[in-house]
A = this chain, B = another copy of it.
Amino acid sequence: MMRLDTRDPGFAAAFESLLDTARETTAKVDAAVGEIINAVRQEGDAALLRLTARFDGWQPADAAALRVTAAEIEAAAAGIEPSLLAALDLAAERIERFHRAQMPGDLEIPDPAGLTLGMRWTPLDAVGLYVPGGKAAYPSSVLMNALPARVAGVGRIAMVVPTPGGQLNPLVLAAAKRAGVTEVYRIGGAQAVAALAWGTATIAPVDRIVGPGNAYVAEAKRQVFGRVGIDSIAGPSEVVILADASNDPRLVAIDLLAQAEHDESAQAILLTDDAGFADAVVAAVAAELEILPRAAIAGESWRRHGAVILVRDWEEAFALTNRLAPEHLELMLPDPRAAMAKVRHAGAAFLGRHCPEAVGDYVAGPNHVLPTGRTARFASGLSVFDFLKRTTWVEASEAGLQAIGPAAVALAEAEGLQAHGRSVALRLR
């Protein structure tokens, strides 16, 4: 863990290195992924059967066996403890409500020149949802990826989830059922991405693929981009917490560790204006690491990438936060709304002392799929906007064209595009 003080002469350089350190090295898998994609494009289902046996360690009997049946989904959901199903329900309702509020409206603008201009939002026809298998299979991520697509009005959601050794995660299926996803395939890796992008006899192609995955999945998404849309490639997760000395150090410590427990590449950073409070949080982190089940992972993340930065004042903290552009930001300050007004770049913000990030990870309503690694400078969390696209339109009357057409002709001719100019000019006569 790095301790920094903005008053130290070496601070600027140390902070710069904190910003520039890549916390994860990306495996070089382009060629392997390219081969997998070609195999699926050329052989379709046959390639899926072969690659699933090879990478997931089970042999599907035939292409039909790749699809999870409705009965399997029902059985999985029926086996979940009712209190857990109720929690899933509460989360789903709240996520749906928030994303419904995001839905944008169409524009229709009458224009002084006599034209009408418009912009219309329409949902994508079909979306693919990649859900990681094994340990990283999170039902909450199924809700966070599928529900915005449903709310946006996407007609078809095809979910893929690898099942190492043939094992399905029942809570993932229960989340799929709750999110209204009925088309689920037990495939994963680059081969699943290829099948969603290009289609096979069994799996119809989609228009966009979302959801997290390992290096192979990320590279496959990069390679099919253009054929289909993709979401951004997520890096390791991070939190920045701004907390003054009036907070309980233990609460700040557990919030830092909730981030750190994701994986060793996660990053948790505290910014505070009180050196004694910083010490108390560091001690509380050590105490919590004694009892946490995932202490090995969280401890490694904290030692490698954690940071405690002592600031002169909060203005300085806001400026540093804007440079960090964190995925998650907790504002444990007396006036968190005023603080929020000073922060320009963050994926999601949590305001006040009663609002740990974990509330947002599960049940608050906003999406937990967020821009990582300083990309909140230009990127946003997953939303209904990921599942909608715009068509702009222009309607011109004869008089409208007479009003603005001559300017179009002048510009077209200046650009040397005479057919452009003529397409307008012929209508002006």
Contact = CB atoms under 8 A, between A and B. Distances in A.
Interface of A: 83-84, 86-88, 90-91, 94, 98, 101-102, 104, 107, 109, 111, 113, 115, 117, 119-120, 122, 124-125, 135, 138-140, 171, 207-208, 226, 228-229, 233, 250-251, 254-255, 257-258, 260-262, 288, 292-294, 298, 336-337, 340, 343-367, 371, 373, 375-381, 383, 385, 389-398, 400-401, 404-408, 410-412, 414-424, 426-427
A407 B363 CA distance: 7
A230 B365 CA distance: 29
A410 B357 CA distance: 15
A87 B407 contact: yes
A147 to B, nearest CB: 14
B392 A423 contact: no
Contacts of A298: 419
A84 B423 contact: no
Contacts of A113: 94
Given A254-B422, A420-B361, A407 B86 contact: yes
Of A86, A348, A404, A407, most B-chain CB atoms within 10 Å = A407
B378 A389 contact: yes
Given A91-B407, A140-B411, A394 B365 contact: yes
Contacts of A207: 377-378
A356 B293 CA distance: 66
A361 B254 contact: no
Contacts of A376: 389, 391
Nearest to A420: B358
